[in-house]
Amino acid sequence: MSLLLLCLAAALAMVGPAFPQQAAPDTLVPNYQRARALKDSLLRADPNSPLPPAARAGFAGLSYFAPDPEYRLIGEMAIYGRRRRIGVPTTNNGPALPMEKFGRLQATFRGKAFWLEVYRSLESGELEVYFRDASNGAQTYGGGRYVPVLSAGDGRYLLDFNMSYSPYCAYNPTYVCPLPPPQNHLDFPILAGEKAFGLDLAY
């Protein structure tokens, strides 16, 4: 299992199942912290870490916004009746990444309704959103971030921006990463999840 998939699996197992109205902050926060500590450890020590080898020994850990239950949203998915494979554009004019267009997730944040295109991985079957927001380039990685999407039952889905993370190309410009589609550009800041790491190398 790759470093990224291992981190995601751990994070999802820790914080995914409980709905916002059922999950108290005092139970969620330690889970976020454990998942983040695991990712730091793997970035520092895993042979497949995307960090350049010279940067691993001095790596002090990623920076994150404090966990905030306000960014843990439940939305409804309009699943496409005819899902199709597409090529998602990538950084540095790299080859398009094949993904499945799964549906549109509709949610509300601070009274503002929005929707995001959801992709499904052909490799793992996991649902994910690639998004940009008004924090990019300052507090967060300029190219945008990714966040997993989990089924919450009854046609509802969990979108927990506290689990937002930067792609590998945020740590190392030799990596090629999928880009958020234009329709996933939010005009408000998502001050949750992973903050910017060092210099914005790929953009």
* pLDDT (tens place) for every residue of the chain, 203 residues total: 465 555 555 555 555 555 444 555 567 888 899 999 999 999 999 999 999 998 898 899 999 999 999 999 999 999 999 889 999 999 988 889 999 999 999 999 999 999 999 999 999 999 999 999 999 999 999 999 999 999 988 889 999 999 999 999 999 989 999 999 999 999 999 999 999 986 433 33
DSSP state, residue 5: H
* pLDDT at site 25: 57
H or E segment and range at residue 10: helix 3-15
* pLDDT at site 2: 61
Angle, helices 25-45 vs 3-15, to 10°: value is 170
Q: Report d(CA 29, CA 198) in Å as an integer.
A: 25
Q: Report d(CA 30, CA 8) in Å as an integer.
A: 16
* pLDDT at site 10: 53
Q: Report d(CA 178, CA 121) in Å as an integer.
A: 12
Q: Are 74 and 157 in contact (CB under 8 A)?
A: yes
* pLDDT at site 92: 84
* pLDDT at site 154: 83
Q: Could you tell me whether strands 112-121 and 127-131 are parallel, antiparallel, or unpaired per DSSP bridges?
A: antiparallel
Q: Are 149 and 128 in contact (CB under 8 A)?
A: yes
* pLDDT at site 155: 84
* pLDDT at site 201: 39
Q: Report d(CA 87, CA 90) in Å as an integer.
A: 9
Q: pTM for this structure?
A: 0.88
